Structure 1
Amino acid sequence: MHDLRRQALESGKTVSRKALSREASRHTSRTGSAQNSRQSSRAASRHASDDEDNGNLSDDTTAWSTTSLDDLAENPEADNTDWPEELADRINDILDRKRSSVQGREESLSAFCRLSKFHYVEEEIRPHIQDLLAAFLRSIKYELSVRESTLALKALEFLALTAYDDTIYDHVESLLTRTIRDSTSPVVKAAAIYCLGTCAFFGGTSDDAKLDQMNFFLDIVASDGRSIEATDDAATVTAALQQWGFLATEIDDLEADSEEAVESFIDQLESSDPAVQVAAGENIALLYEKSYTPQEDDEDEDSDGDDNGSTSSSNGDGDGPRLIKRYAAYHNTPQLERILSSLATVSGKRISKKDKKSLHSNFTSILRTVENPRRGPMFSTAINQNTNRQYGSKRQVKIGNEGVMNIDRWWKWLRLASLRRILQGGFMEHYYQGNRAVLDSLPVMLRESTRSVGLDRSGFKKAAKLRNSTRRMALGDDA
């Protein structure tokens, strides 16, 4: 990845005074960072190989398309009925630090992450939350090995996602911020960024605290990682972009932050790394989406000053409430559209077929939203012959045979992407077992014959208990 902030300055591109001020302060306070930071953001700057963990701990930041969601149901632990006993043993090993070695802690943390990913472990960990929190923080703080610290950060993410404890963020924020700034490992830095975003989202924070972390992540993006001594490290910048977007889905009003944020994300569209480009583009789409909100009951039909080419009474596909433009997400949308259009049709021998396909798919979707913020991800402008209307944004994720998620807005897509990164094949298990954090993050419709009704936690919990009871009876277990 290029040093995009330097490119912007050399090319005469407009840079906000706030961004320039940040850059100047970073330059004076971080003069020694260049010697220790990576000089290019090749694909090799991902997390270390997960072969040793059987692929269960991947934080794969490679760009993935909005059409690829099959791995949400790939659970290799589905038939493991002895997991509660294994988890209890691993918790005891993690808490017994005095008699443990680095290698032993790595193995125990890896197993804890695997079990927490593919099973809903809230009841099993509830008596140990504070002790586990302290143990994970010790492994992160002392950083005796990159793998132990990375696994502890991942374990902390699972704890925040599962425990439903609103004190976690306050316990971990200062250490995670210090780890992001001071760790000598870019792998640990990226893992800590993901962990901080997850804890801020699920661990009990106010909107102001979320905005503080978003500003921290935006500093990392705007400086190409230089602000945390990870210059031009693609994995670190991607993590900051993705967690900025994840937290932004929780903030109702981003008008004051939109212009500067879009400007920073446009710079990252010039990156040589597709994951960086796609994450930046998705954040831009989210900001444009957020500049439109549903029409209030007391507003006139003509109150929208710019219909942006949409129908006059819909969210872009003829369904849902009318969305009204509240402010300009960015001052030069035509220029941005030209950049997005070039990425949606990018060609060249230096880009692999896989990356080219990803860029085309993702940026076609992002461009359509910027052109018309009423359009969500994967919006299809093709005409449905049955209704004589555009197909619209109708990407669905099936929740077994019981429910569906309509991914028709970017905020839903970014939340699903973050949950997918953490849970992967354990996603459905957490949904079925009623993980409150997961269920509260995304709306699901429960299907009854041909009718759909809103789904709450008790609905999935009851369905899960019925399935488990039926399964135990089939296995001959009367318990």
Structure 2
Amino acid sequence: MHDDLRRRALESGKTVSRKARSRQVSTTSSKANSRLNSPAQSRANSRNPSRHGSDDEEYLSDGTAWSTNSIDDILNSEDADIPVDAWKSELQTRIEQIVDRKRSSTEGRADSLNSYAHFLMARYAKDEIDPRMSELLPSILRSIKAETTERETVTALRALAATVITLDSEDIYDSVADLLKRIISDSESVQTKISAIHALGTAAFFGGASDEEMEDLMTLFLEIVESDGLSVEAHDEGSVVIAALEEWGLLATEIDDLEEATEAAIEAFVDQLQSSDAGVQIAAGENIALLYEKSYTPREDDEEHSDEESDDEEADHGQKMVKRYDVYRRQDQLLHSLDELATVSTRRISKKDRKTLHSNFADIRNSVEKPTRGPKYSTALDQETGRTYGGRMRVKINRSVEVRIDKWWKLQRLNALRRVLQGGFTHHFDENEAVSRCLPFSMSGRS
């Protein structure tokens, strides 16, 4: 693992600037999907794995059972007759099939793109794909631009997102942004729009977009939310609104000061709490919690303060956090709405959705009232330390390393990585600096 870089990982919630990071990495080492769902996968099911586990911890599976058995055999087989690096040879075969468009059919390209994406999710393959990018990326983009079939387009978008995270390049966003925006706006396929929204957010976050470009995208995504999808010709398509909410949340974690953007955003998110789609409500609620979290920052050394904690100060792991601005002028009404969602009992909502709403909105309400408390925050006392447990959501990477998800910005980033990398997240965290840089880690054991 890249221990030095990882120990510098941003506990503050802000990554090192992309330009500065690229200079640092180039001097220290030459090594430097949004689950973009297939049409057969439902959006409702895609949220559940990232939000449910035991009350104390959430762990990721390192399996890849969703993929084809033949690829799984190559990646995971213990058969001594299969070379350890057999997947690298198979990946090169898939790359050849993707770039040689004259000899491929639409279905053949979709199959190859699907396999390619799978390999990139399950293994860190920067060394394998980097030398081929001059021909590989244009071919992937042609599959997206042509929209010959929904399956080829969606698999190409998933492949693009996995490629962006694997490459960790400062330049890729400029190459893909205009095309992805056009696909989001003009495609007649709802699933393609969803996949393109996730690919665009991934490309911006990992592919070199400036803060200004990210803020422009956040405006685009907010327009989708405010119009219930109408701004991109997908009116009342809850899954499109969910994708826009999720990618807005991801990009917001990278912006230091959200005060200027908060007023319009909070109005849109509060409005979406009334949605009939539980997924929309939860995604909006998580963004509301993030906005409240971002409204508090650590107290500076030279700031005047009283000995007693004021209403605008909260303690966070012993650090004083100061409220910098009001998030929402009608907070009492908001808390009432969140209480209702945390206790909703109507039979018009499925039992599964009711349970999901109760769990998520109990956490969201807690954070609106106490913004330094992140997801799965527990006020119970640890008998060993005498301190509150605090955030109890953790993702185990291996025996000695785990990611503690005690902030909403961490949960937003974790969910984004899991959408793209699925079961391969833990493998990438171990080897891919683009992934480990996003989330700080801690050694196993209670901290």
TM-score, normalised by the number of residues in structure 2: 0.83
Whether contact under 8 Å (2:60, 2:396) holds in the other structure is no
Cα distance in 2 for residues equivalent to 1:380 and 1:273: 28
Whether contact under 8 Å (1:340, 1:363) holds in the other structure is yes
Written as runs of structure 1 = structure 2, the 5 A alignment for 1:199-214 is: 199-214=203-218
Residues 47/270 of structure 1: CA separation in 2 closer, same or farther (3 Å cut): farther
- Post-superposition Cα deviations, 1:14-34, rounded to whole Å, max 9, x if no partner, equal xxxxxxxxxxxxxxxxxxxxx
Cα distance in 2 for residues equivalent to 1:443 and 1:191: 27
Letter in 1 for 2:338: L
Offset, 1:446: 3.9
Does the residue aligned with 2:403 lie in a helix, a strand or coil? strand
Offset, 1:402: 2.0
Q: What is the aligned partner in structure 2 of residue 378 from structure 1?
A: 376
Cα distance in 2 for residues equivalent to 1:140 and 1:228: 17
Aligned: 1:86 with 2:90? yes
Offset, 1:208: 0.5
Offset, 1:260: 1.1
- Post-superposition Cα deviations, 1:22-51, rounded to whole Å, max 9, x if no partner, equal xxxxxxxxxxxxxxxxxxxxxxxx85215x
Q: What is the aligned partner in structure 2 of residue 399 from structure 1?
A: 397
Q: What is the aligned partner in structure 2 of residue 337 from structure 1?
A: 335
Out of 40, 62, 76, the position equivalent to 1:73 is 62
Using CA pairs under 8 Å that are at least 6 residues apart, name the structure with larger relative contact order, 1 or 2.
2
Larger radius of gyration: 1
Residues 329/117 of structure 1: CA separation in 2 closer, same or farther (3 Å cut): same
Cα distance in 2 for residues equivalent to 1:120 and 1:270: 41
Does the residue aligned with 1:297 lie in a helix, a strand or coil? coil
Written as runs of structure 1 = structure 2, the 5 A alignment for 1:358-369 is: 358-369=356-367
**What stretches of structure 1 of length at least 5 have no aligned partner?**
1-45, 453-479
Matched residue count: 392
- Post-superposition Cα deviations, 1:442-467, rounded to whole Å, max 9, x if no partner, equal 001245xx798xxxxxxxxxxxxxxx
Letter in 2 for 1:441: C
Whether contact under 8 Å (1:234, 1:276) holds in the other structure is yes
- Post-superposition Cα deviations, 1:263-309, rounded to whole Å, max 9, x if no partner, equal 1001111111111111000000000000000111111333999536x
Q: What is the aligned partner in structure 2 of residue 123 from structure 1?
A: 127
Residues 451/283 of structure 1: CA separation in 2 closer, same or farther (3 Å cut): closer
Residues 274/264 of structure 1: CA separation in 2 closer, same or farther (3 Å cut): same
Whether contact under 8 Å (1:66, 1:378) holds in the other structure is no
Letter in 1 for 2:300: E
Offset, 1:388: 4.4
TM-score, normalised by the number of residues in structure 1: 0.78
Residues 88/98 of structure 1: CA separation in 2 closer, same or farther (3 Å cut): same
Out of 172, 194, 200, the position equivalent to 1:196 is 200
Whether contact under 8 Å (1:66, 1:377) holds in the other structure is no
Cα distance in 1 for residues equivalent to 2:307 and 2:197: 41
Cα distance in 2 for residues equivalent to 1:402 and 1:190: 36
Cα distance in 1 for residues equivalent to 2:344 and 2:189: 33
Does the residue aligned with 1:148 lie in a helix, a strand or coil? helix
Cα distance in 1 for residues equivalent to 2:252 and 2:50: 20
Aligned: 1:224 with 2:213? no
Percent identity over the alignment? 48
Letter in 1 for 2:388: Q
Letter in 1 for 2:201: G
- Post-superposition Cα deviations, 1:231-271, rounded to whole Å, max 9, x if no partner, equal 00011100000000000000010001111101100111111
Aligned: 1:254 with 2:254? no
Letter in 1 for 2:260: A
Out of 424, 432, 436, the position equivalent to 1:439 is 436
Aligned: 1:266 with 2:266? no
Written as runs of structure 1 = structure 2, the 5 A alignment for 1:138-153 is: 138-153=142-157
